[in-house]
Amino acid sequence: MRKYDHLFFDLDNTLWDFTANSYRAMEITLVQNKILPRLNSFESFFEVYEQINKSLWSDYHSRKITKQTLIVERFSKSLQSFNIYNLDWSDLNQQYLRNMALQTELFPGTIETLTTLGTRGYQMHIITNGFSEVQHDKLKNCGLAAFFSKVFISEELHTTKPHRQIFEYALKSTNAKKKKSIMIGDSWETDIEGAINFGIDQIMFLNNGLHELPESIKKLHSTINHSCLEQKHGTRTWFINEISDLNAIL
């Protein structure tokens, strides 16, 4: 008898390679707007952009800023760092999101693993903090949409991971029980801690060490057996390096 019935996946940097896809989408966007030649180095710009974008998303998750602030400031602050001013930041963001939706790089083994899990009878769903105008198109364009019964997008639900409301809504909407559900994601703060506090098990996708863990968890992870941590509310955290490793846990 299998332990879980419902698998709730994060999308960005769990199944869909956000880092690779956003790099390509940004480069295309800057070329389209004739901005790229004005930069000494695209790599240097993208490194600055990633740091600013990450900080703004953290503030957005914490409800400190609005979506509009996020989409404007991630471009204005990044490009102004390279002495580029007076652009239509919102329009630039919309072009970037359109280009993002066209990128299709998945982590190795994603399609094969989801196919296997589907044949085993799991009900699979997405819980994502991304924006509505791009997440559905991402799923469709990269061939993932057919695997998932329901897609829960934070913007549509007016709440984000790690807040319990989004998990509560997802489980109620799928008629899933906590003990028969598990969250799979790449972010300790939003996916794993959110699921722990809500009371469901979790799987942390480490991507061979590229996805960050808090220092306290790193120390525990290095000493545990079978890559599993016992957490509060009677939940457990599993760790995987590759998406295909899900087959050994589920």
**DSSP labels, 4-42:** -SEEEE--BTTTB-HHHHHHHHHHHHHHHTT-GGGSS-H
Query: Would you give the DSSP letter of residue 225?
Result: S
CATH number for the domain whose boundaries are 6-17+106-249: 3.40.50.1000
Separation in Å, CA 167 to CA 8, 68, 182, 223, 229:
9, 24, 11, 30, 21
Whether 150 contacts 125, CB under 8 Å: yes
User: Which comes out higher in pLDDT, residue 216 or 194?
Assistant: 194
Whether 184 contacts 9, CB under 8 Å: yes
Query: Would you give the DSSP letter of residue 85?
Result: -
Q: Taking residues 121-143, what's their average pLDDT?
A: 95
Query: Would you give the DSSP letter of residue 243?
Result: G
Asked which of 39-53, 136-150, 166-180, 224-238 is least confident by mean pLDDT, the reply is 224-238
User: Hey, how many other C-beta atoms are within 10 angstroms of the C-beta on 67?
Assistant: 11
The SS3 call for residue 206 is: coil
Asked which of 69-73, 106-110, 216-220 is least confident by mean pLDDT, the reply is 216-220
Task: Give the pLDDT confidence score for residue 224 in this predicted structure.
Answer: 62
Whether 162 contacts 61, CB under 8 Å: yes
Respond yes or no: is residue 12 known to be catalytic.
yes
Q: Taking residues 29-50, what's their average pLDDT?
A: 96
Options 5, 10, 88, 245, the catalytic residue = 10
- pTM of the entire predicted model: 0.92
Q: How confident is the model at residue 220 (pLDDT cuts 50, 70, 90)?
A: confident
The SS3 call for residue 239 is: strand
Q: Taking residues 151-155, what's their average pLDDT?
A: 95
Q: How is the chain split into domains, by residue range?
A: 6-17+106-249, 19-101
Structural class in CATH, domain 19-101: mainly alpha
Q: How confident is the model at residue 216 (pLDDT cuts 50, 70, 90)?
A: confident
User: At CB < 8 A and 24+ separation, what contacts does 215-220 make?
Assistant: 217/188
Q: What is the pLDDT of residues 80-98, one digit of tens each?
A: 999 999 999 999 999 999 9
Burial class (CB in 10 A: 0-12, 13-18, 19+), 190: buried
Which helix (H) or strand (E) segment is 123 a member of?
A: strand 123-128
- 103 Cβ contact partners less than 8 Å away, ≥ 6 residues apart: 20, 21, 22, 24, 25, 138, 141, 142
Q: How confident is the model at residue 226 (pLDDT cuts 50, 70, 90)?
A: low
With a pLDDT cut of 70, the percent of the chain lying above it is 98
Whether 8 contacts 125, CB under 8 Å: yes
Separation in Å, CA 12 to CA 103, 108, 205, 221:
12, 14, 11, 23
3-state helix, strand, coil in the chain (%, to 5): 55, 15, 30
Which helix (H) or strand (E) segment is 75 a member of?
A: helix 67-80
Respond yes or no: is residue 10 known to be catalytic.
yes
Options 5, 12, 191, 201, the catalytic residue = 12
Q: Taking residues 227-248, what's their average pLDDT?
A: 91
Average pLDDT over the chain reads 94
